[in-house]
Structure 1
Amino acid sequence: MSVVTTAPVLGFTDSTTRSAHEVLAAAQELAGPAHRGAVDRLPEEIRHIAGYHAGWWDAEGRPRQGGGKAVRPALVLASAWAAGGEDAETVRAAVPAAVAVELVHDFSLLHDDIMDGDLTRRHRPAAWSVFGVGEAILAGDVLLTLALDLLAGSPGLRVLTGSLLRLCSGQSADLAFETRTDVTLAQCVEMAAGKTGALLGCACEIGALAGGAGQDRAGLFGRFGHHLGLAFQLTDDLLGIWGDPAVTGKPVFSDLAARKKSLPVVAALTSGTPAGERLARLYHGDRILDERSLAHAADLIEAAGARAWAQREAEANLAAALACLRQADPAPEAAGDLRLLAQLITRRDR
């Protein structure tokens, strides 16, 4: 959030009319230069891969427009603002934490794309498919190291390392699910809580700590982010089946083609419905699913009630997140930004 000294809000003169996209743009304005500055410290070969992955330049190093939405840095900065009573200096002090969380996010995506065999990321070839598997793994490792260095000596470091353990555990479970036919819905929710909820919860908790919150109050911000992460993952899983490829940048039914055990899929498989049983026979088979079979699988998931279940669960987790935010007693202006980000995360099309 771009800080000005003439108003308590972060770069806006009328907080009642700004949009979530303006909040993200303001966060990018404040944390973006620090993010680039951190990456510029890296050896040139690693820097090149990291900048490509971030969307700052193409494979040849030519500058381009694009990159991530900076959701996680925005959550860090807004949480610091919310905990610190709308103090501009508090937000500036939270920038290293915002950059650290974004570096961890980039690390996780670099490795996830390799483990999942995903060829595209943000509408263009994934880094590993351009620079090689070993190089992309190394770039991810370096970004993680840089993130930990940025938080050295801060109370947020222990929160980040704990979140990393949960994130890796969730990713490990996700990989294990690929070859299992007995995954329960509770196990799938636990996986999503680690793979996605852990880092969003971390972003909000270390932001609140940077804003001066005590552990208990910062924990409420963390719970806000945790539930937001589950809502995010549910929405992401819905988009992985029914999203518009022109908007998401992924092929139609991409998650089904990979036979991913996403939340709607597992909800259908464990539903005890005739549609769920037919889906199990289709999903657990050996043959490659053609376009017609994939469309049929999507129809079976919906017929089993899993699409509606995932939509309800996303809304329920959004409501739980907002309840935790209220308990944290945030500064009013900053709470508005956090609510805007929550709505954006859970009601998006990509």
Structure 2
Amino acid sequence: MPGTAQNIEDTLRSVRDDLNAALGRIDPAVFDFRRFPFSFMGKAARARFTILAGDALLLGRDRSARLASAAELTHTASLLHDDCIDRALYRRGLPTLNEKLGVNTAILVGDLIVSLALDFAASASQDLVQELVLAIRHMTEGALLEENAKGRKISAAEADRIVELKTGALFRWCALAACRLAGRPELLETCGRIGKDAGTAFQMIDDVLDFEGDAGACGKETLKDIKEGKFTLPLILALNDAAAGPKAEKLLSRMKTGPEADLSAAVELAGLVSSGGFSAQARRKASEKIKELFPLIDRLPGTEGAAALKTFLLTLGERTA
């Protein structure tokens, strides 16, 4: 039977235990997870979303937990790969795997974890595997589009496409998979939209936090996107503003031509984006996207689960870490 919002933490503990067990079963000669642990689940946003979407579809928690495990493993693999691309030293307060063991090992462990994610999806239903493969493909396409756009001013529409692929694709799979297991094919299109837009809004807030978040609370370095030449929505809004745009352009030029160690231009640009209200504007857009999903969520059969899902999505739009 579906659970309630009050006992979701119990289900999340079960998911975490399942993931620890799966990682612990890896042959230590291949990779010793107990010797070289790394952080996973973090805020568990994908797991929470999956479980609450399952509740709204009247899907039993034992089944939605399998989907949540697959989603979190897929996300973990993507983070391991991201850390290699970004040469990140820390993730959620712990040294990254690429910092401890090198890029080659981190990439290969990420690949291995993808296979575990597919195993979890198959254990829920073999039919879900191909859709997860497609979601992973879209995530990779989004990451490649983002990589190709580094250092280049892009439009808000281009940024939206990157976010929809990079983050929206996995949330979309979570909702679609829950819908399929719940036996509600008439709601597939609705659930796909809910998942895609929820994931997109989540990433939009993540991009805001790069400008205004606290590194310790966020679990990752702030100003990271700016320093890597990524044009996310808050920066695009600033660049498109008649008053702030020219100053933002000058600061970007300073970042490109100045010494790499000089972060003053990045800090000044972040201040411009934040004080000019552009990060707040991006946050409002994310919140609007979430609220536009409420009529769709109201179509789902589980009234209590639907209400809990809406509450959770609102917290995503308001989060500061």
- TM-score (norm. length: structure 2): 0.89
> SS at the partner of 1:336?
helix
Partner of 1:60: none
- Tell me by how many angstroms 1:47 deviates: 4.7
Amino acid at match of 2:38: H
Partner of 2:25: 41
Structure 2 residue aligned with 1:53, among 19, 24, 38?
38
Query: Is 1:75 matched with 2:49?
Result: yes
Partner of 1:168: 140
Partner of 2:13: 29
Query: Is 1:243 matched with 2:213?
Result: yes
Cα distance in 2, alignment partners of residues 303 and 112 from structure 1: 29
Structure 2 residue aligned with 1:318, among 276, 290, 297?
290
Amino acid at match of 1:35: L
Structure 1, unmatched stretches of 5+, are 1-7, 56-66
Amino acid at match of 1:37: A
Query: Is 1:129 matched with 2:99?
Result: yes
The answer on whether the counterparts of 1:231 and 1:317 sit within 8 Å (CA) in structure 2 is: yes
- Tell me by how many angstroms 1:217 deviates: 0.6
CA deviations 1:187-230 (Å, max 9, x no partner) are: 0111011111111121122122222221x413312211211112
Partner of 1:231: 201
- Tell me by how many angstroms 1:297 deviates: 0.7
Partner of 2:82: 112
| Matched length | 315
Cα distance in 1, alignment partners of residues 316 and 2 from structure 2: 22
* C-alpha RMSD of the superposition: 2.4
The answer on whether the counterparts of 1:9 and 1:333 sit within 8 Å (CA) in structure 2 is: no
- TM-score (norm. length: structure 1): 0.82
> SS at the partner of 2:282?
helix
| CA distance 1:81–1:272, change in 2 (3 Å) | closer
- Tell me by how many angstroms 1:314 deviates: 0.9
Cα distance in 1, alignment partners of residues 39 and 188 from structure 2: 29
Partner of 1:201: 172
Partner of 1:341: 312
| CA distance 1:251–1:94, change in 2 (3 Å) | closer
- Tell me by how many angstroms 1:282 deviates: 2.0
> SS at the partner of 1:75?
helix
| CA distance 1:251–1:79, change in 2 (3 Å) | closer
- Tell me by how many angstroms 1:263 deviates: 1.7
Amino acid at match of 1:78: L
Amino acid at match of 1:330: P
Amino acid at match of 1:306: F
- Tell me by how many angstroms 1:49 deviates: 7.8
- Tell me by how many angstroms 1:99 deviates: 1.2
Cα distance in 1, alignment partners of residues 143 and 94 from structure 2: 23
> SS at the partner of 1:33?
helix
> SS at the partner of 2:151?
coil
Structure 2 residue aligned with 1:283, among 239, 245, 252?
252
Amino acid at match of 2:119: D
**What is the aligned-residue identity percentage?**
26
Cα distance in 1, alignment partners of residues 271 and 20 from structure 2: 44
